[in-house]
Copies of this chain bind each other. A is one copy, B any other.
Amino acid sequence: MANRSGNRMVVEGAIAAGCRFFSGYPITPASEIYQLMTERLPQRGDVAIGAPDEITALCYAVGASLRGFKAMTATSGPGWCLMIETVQYAIMTETPVVIALVQRLGPSTGGATQGAQGDILLAEFASSGGYTIPVFCPSNPLECYELTVHAFNWAEKLRTPVILLSDKEVGMTSESIDLSELGPLPVAEREKFDPSKRPDPQAFLPYFFAQSEDVPAFSPLGAGYKVTITGSAHNKLGQLKKNDPATLELLAHLQKKIDRHRAEIALAKADLEPGAEALVISFGITARAAREAARMARERRQKVSLLQLLTLFPVPEREITRCLDGSRRVIVAEENLTGQYRGLIRHLLGDREVIGVNKIGGMITPREILSAAIPMNSKRAAHFSGGKQTYGNDRSGA
């Protein structure tokens, strides 16, 4: 058993998932993933490349994936900006690829060594058209491992980019992990085109689907079938066709194939207390404070329910609404100013009191969550504590 950071466990997860290609450009706090992938992959005969910039880093990973290799990159907010053009190319070309996005304080170059949960919207809404990009969000090294495997699996199954949304605290905090005890997680592969299943194997269509929500079978570049690849709107052959119904259907299919698997993609951990007035929703590093807040509450015989979201997108609506029963108050704790995720789920929360616990420049503390969940113990005014600013708890609802 040894101490392993979240970043390191992302690497272990990637390798367990069958990642064979990594390209990246170093950036704090994601550099450890870059460094370890660069060490580990070549030892296995696989390839890790330092790219000249982030644009190229994701382009390389997309290229490797199109050749049939599971591929990944890792970056932080400032680098992610430069990848947005290419992540759309991956969406349009239905290319599986995993991006580990280790958040730091923004905007712009912001604070390289300060954690944050501020890239939720920047990550998810990276496409012209608003196509859903699956986003998984770990809170500790073990979840880094598991969710990285999930990220690869869903990237492959749905032929789509997937984001592993970590942050500086999760990525750089080490915990004792026994690699040998990690349960073997199922590993998925993209469906390969099988000529024996098709009446006319010559008629390979690189973007064929029978139903809009199906995922096309894949044939790698160079494997004998003609694969046309373009970031422009195209039909099932890959041909550019303007305002063609088949082309528009294909664009809709890009969203429908994700939507269809919404329920399976949704991962969450609930710790519900019968009769609890308050439900705390959290994710990532903040989920750790939430767990501690609940423990403290229970010590005082106060009831607080917890919902930790491991999947942020597609929004796990059912998991959220299921946990609402009886709660009159919902706390959404996230390390950003504006309550990014709270804004997206507020319509699911009905007329409950919704309280955002938000802060930047430091981790949200269990006490801050607790005082929002059990308000009689709290003034709930904006305050400075320990050099960190609490931006103010936003209260809305009936």
Contacts and interface: CB of A to CB of B under 8 A. Distances in A.
B108 A389 contact: no
A214 to B, nearest CB: 17
A96 interface: no
Given A243-B362, A343-B344, A384-B245, A107 B122 contact: no
B84 A361 contact: no
Contact of A336 (B88, B129, B249, B384): B129
Interface of A is mostly: mixed
Contacts of A82: 82, 85
A337 B112 CA distance: 36
A318 to B, nearest CB: 14
Residue with the greatest number of chain B CB neighbours at <10 A, chosen from A59, A349, A360: A360
Given A81-B84, A84-B84, A252-B389, A89 B118 contact: no
A131 interface: yes
Contact of A340 (B81, B130, B346, B360): B130
B81 A233 contact: no
A231 interface: yes
A116 B130 CA distance: 11
Interface stretch (A44-52, A181-189, A270-278, A365-373): A44-52
A254 interface: yes
Given A243-B362, A251-B361, A337-B255, A233 B111 contact: yes
A232 B387 CA distance: 18
Nearest to A92: B108
Interface string A88-127: 1101110000000001111111111110101111101111
A235 interface: no
A282 interface: no
A120 B128 CA distance: 8
Indicate the size class of the contact surface on chain A.
35 or more
Interface in A222-265: 230-233, 242-245, 247-249, 251-252, 254-255
A110 B233 contact: yes
Given A89-B108, A116-B129, 9 more contacts: A47-B47, A49-B49, A80-B128, A81-B84, A85-B108, A121-B125, A122-B130, A243-B387, A245-B387
25 contacts: A47-B47, A52-B59, A84-B122, A92-B107, A92-B109, A105-B128, A107-B129, A107-B131, A107-B254, A110-B129, A114-B233, A122-B125, A122-B128, A129-B337, A130-B338, A130-B340, A243-B361, A243-B362, A248-B361, A252-B337, A252-B360, A252-B391, A255-B338, A343-B344, A347-B349
Interface of A: 45, 47, 49-52, 55-56, 59, 63, 77-78, 80-82, 84-85, 88-89, 91-93, 103-114, 116, 118-122, 124-132, 230-233, 242-245, 247-249, 251-252, 254-255, 336-338, 340, 343-344, 346-347, 349, 360-362, 384, 387-389, 391
